Structure 1
């Protein structure tokens, strides 16, 4: 399989597969708001799709759709004149209207938006007032209430222009980085990803019309560009609107590792080896035929993948660690060790997670390398946590393996982390 064919399959695998269901629901909501506020039966008027869907950069597994609904102008003066938090009252009014259509659905105000939570995804609707220049004024109910402005249509337009200029390289790159973010468990907003890709392609016009054959070099150069980001840098300016977009997690270590993998992929002589490297960067969506396992005899490959069990959309941070102990010795943390001996007791645990509870925790232990194949000890099943956020193992397998942890909320994998277990043979 030529590498360009693999990338074509990869990008097809990233296409959102529940878009019709999502848009059917948003149309019902828009129709209800139009009927109540404008005496109209339209299911599209006064609505503006923004966010990743609006920029056409969302990928399969996306868990939210952002939409602005433009309110009648007179409502601004009504709620601006209210004593107390008029912004909160306006959000409550919009929420109550939506509840007439979805009375059994979880609908709640959340500071600046009304959140409508469905199974597998949510709609975040921002009620706002359309101003001159396609600027929106919207209510912020936090800290007593105030009005703020946003310019998402300018972002949509700028991204669309670059995508046309680059012959759709821009959208492909944005989707690719989302897959990387999900694979490496990084909490990065979609707008920040699109901003990085926008800045990179704007400065590297040689990639605008190169096609899929040149994506290996493009990926390497993108990660090389991202290694220049200072760990102390807090924000970037979004395309079009030039609003500040903030970084929410430290990416430098994982970007550096990704650059190494991308460089190794280019140096691989065999196509299957290249694809294996890209799968380690972008996850199961990248096609890969594991010939080593296929040729092995009497080996059970029962590995499970989180994206086969749940939607995958990383929006929270997770950090796991492991207590390494042995009778007669003090307990130490695995991340502080370069290598451990066999026959040790290992207790993996959730060290930090900013996802709001309740949520479920799942674990995966995967043995890797030729020794795991020869001993038929690959493992790789995904196991639900008993409720303590901990998983006990022992270092009986004399070879390298890794442990992954997944946070599942509302049926979606929203955080993940991985720790390598370097056992001495």
Structure 2
């Protein structure tokens, strides 16, 4: 198979993985709406002389599985499990429990054009720009005081046994067994399914994750080969059967309506058509131009069409001299973003006392809101995680200067630090992230932008 793995990795990193600042935007929306729910529930309790309280909060779906991809339509879904103790909500039916969450949100979501909606499986908050937050409502109980919690979901008309962490744990375990390439393949598959505006009736991320895992082409080493052969395997699997079962309960189908089967048929039809265009990759006389053109047809993305010009090829060669050392937290530990963390930044330099970054930029407007060279930056993580095991840090240098100096960094430093000190050495839109680790999971994370200009102190 013709080797375009170098370009494929660039495509994956630059065009498929959701940019760090947008991931932070999703986390901010998640945190904001959980706060709205908690505050609204307090108001509801005051008005109705009740004592409802949220026992657990857990991120679910593509955010928890770290398979979110770039999407020009901003149609990002943020899935959050809200868990009550059974003895707290008493005999509330599933519908009554969802309505309770909906009423609590209504008290703090008055500025939305669309009020929170009580749906069959969740309570939804819809943003005007396409984002939506889905609160799935659960209750938990123990058979005995020393036993682990059992969970039930409020979908439909009756409480149904379901662990809100089960799917995420299943996927994290599969990534550990198969390698991070599995997550890459799932993201690339989702990118394909979103590649045409007219493809509105395609299977969701969970179904794609289950099938990609089931037929994952682990015998290959290059990511372009792994993805190509996994897609061939998915096509063959769909030709045999379009049925897909819950990986944590094989007696339950993930296809519960005719529309779901229609989506599987569409996936098969479109894979058949576009994989045929990729067959040129297996030809002994395939050229670079033909390979790039085939991937452009498959993904329908400008990245590949731009590679078709000699100018872009030259630019690609020039940029390839730097070492891509960036690491991603989802490749190291499971994500359970259920707590909060904030990053405080202070600056200092010769003749300038230590002060918060915001105050410094207000005091020295001549730097045009950019941090000058020759300063020290002191970062501190403030978190509500009880007794965290560690706080890890990542510093990522971005821009042409960082690439020219071969100093993009991006490695995750795995030490117990709630603080970090850096120097401003060269310009660029850099960023710093911290990750709070507890019980082998990342339970909180935060990103702060560090825009360094050309001026110096």
**TM range, smaller chain:** 0.5 to 0.7
Pick from 166, 170, 174 the counterpart of residue 178 of structure 2: 166
What secondary structure is seen at the aligned counterpart in 2 of 1:206?
A: coil
Deviation at 1:116, TM superposition (A): 0.2
What secondary structure is seen at the aligned counterpart in 2 of 1:124?
A: strand
- List per-residue Cα deviations over 1:146-192 (Å, max 9, x = no partner): 22232342221121122233331010000010011112525101110
Using the TM superposition, name which of 224-233 and 88-97 deviates more: 224-233
Pick from 264, 275, 278 the counterpart of residue 262 of structure 1: 278
Deviation at 1:271, TM superposition (A): 2.2
- List per-residue Cα deviations over 1:257-292 (Å, max 9, x = no partner): 232222223436332321221121123164333647
Q: Which structure 2 residues correspond to residues 333-348 of structure 1 after superposition, within 5 A?
A: none
- List per-residue Cα deviations over 1:101-132 (Å, max 9, x = no partner): 22122211111211000122101111111356
Q: Which structure 2 residues correspond to residues 108-257 of structure 1 after superposition, within 5 A?
A: 108-118=117-127, 119-131=129-141, 136-141=151-156, 145-183=157-195, 185=199, 186-201=201-216, 204-207=217-220, 210=221, 214-230=222-238, 233-242=241-250, 243-246=252-255, 247-248=260-261, 249=263, 250=265, 251-257=267-273
Q: Which structure 2 residues correspond to residues 344-383 of structure 1 after superposition, within 5 A?
A: none
Q: When the two structures are superposed, what TM-score results if normalisation uses the length of structure 2?
A: 0.54
In the alignment, is the contact (CA less than 8 A) between 2:76 and 2:130 conserved in 1?
A: yes
In structure 2, what is the Cα distance between the partners aligned to 1:21 and 1:228?
A: 38
The aligned counterpart of 2:18 is 16
In structure 2, what is the Cα distance between the partners aligned to 1:101 and 1:68?
A: 19
From the superposition, tell whether residues 111 and 221 of structure 1 become closer, same or farther in structure 2 (CA, over 3 Å): same
In structure 2, what is the Cα distance between the partners aligned to 1:159 and 1:263?
A: 30
In the alignment, is the contact (CA less than 8 A) between 2:69 and 2:190 conserved in 1?
A: yes
1:70 counterpart = 2:90: no
In structure 2, what is the Cα distance between the partners aligned to 1:288 and 1:135?
A: 52
The aligned counterpart of 1:56 is 66
From the superposition, tell whether residues 285 and 129 of structure 1 become closer, same or farther in structure 2 (CA, over 3 Å): farther
Gaps of 5+ in 1: 80-85, 296-425
After the TM superposition, which segments of 4 or more aligned residues of structure 1 sit over 6 Å from their partners? Answer: 292-295
In the alignment, is the contact (CA less than 8 A) between 2:138 and 2:154 conserved in 1?
A: yes
In the alignment, is the contact (CA less than 8 A) between 2:192 and 2:298 conserved in 1?
A: yes
The aligned counterpart of 2:318 is none
In the alignment, is the contact (CA less than 8 A) between 1:134 and 1:153 conserved in 2?
A: no
From the superposition, tell whether residues 152 and 234 of structure 1 become closer, same or farther in structure 2 (CA, over 3 Å): farther
Gaps of 5+ in 2: 44-53, 143-147, 313-457
From the superposition, tell whether residues 161 and 261 of structure 1 become closer, same or farther in structure 2 (CA, over 3 Å): same
The aligned counterpart of 2:105 is 98
1:276 counterpart = 2:293: yes
In the alignment, is the contact (CA less than 8 A) between 2:193 and 2:202 conserved in 1?
A: yes
From the superposition, tell whether residues 122 and 166 of structure 1 become closer, same or farther in structure 2 (CA, over 3 Å): same
In structure 2, what is the Cα distance between the partners aligned to 1:65 and 1:50?
A: 8
In structure 2, what is the Cα distance between the partners aligned to 1:258 and 1:56?
A: 26
From the superposition, tell whether residues 131 and 73 of structure 1 become closer, same or farther in structure 2 (CA, over 3 Å): closer
In structure 2, what is the Cα distance between the partners aligned to 1:283 and 1:102?
A: 38
In the alignment, is the contact (CA less than 8 A) between 2:85 and 2:141 conserved in 1?
A: no
In the alignment, is the contact (CA less than 8 A) between 2:84 and 2:139 conserved in 1?
A: yes
In the alignment, is the contact (CA less than 8 A) between 1:48 and 1:68 conserved in 2?
A: yes
In structure 2, what is the Cα distance between the partners aligned to 1:187 and 1:223?
A: 15
* Count of residue pairs the alignment pairs up: 275
In the alignment, is the contact (CA less than 8 A) between 2:181 and 2:223 conserved in 1?
A: no
In the alignment, is the contact (CA less than 8 A) between 2:11 and 2:303 conserved in 1?
A: yes
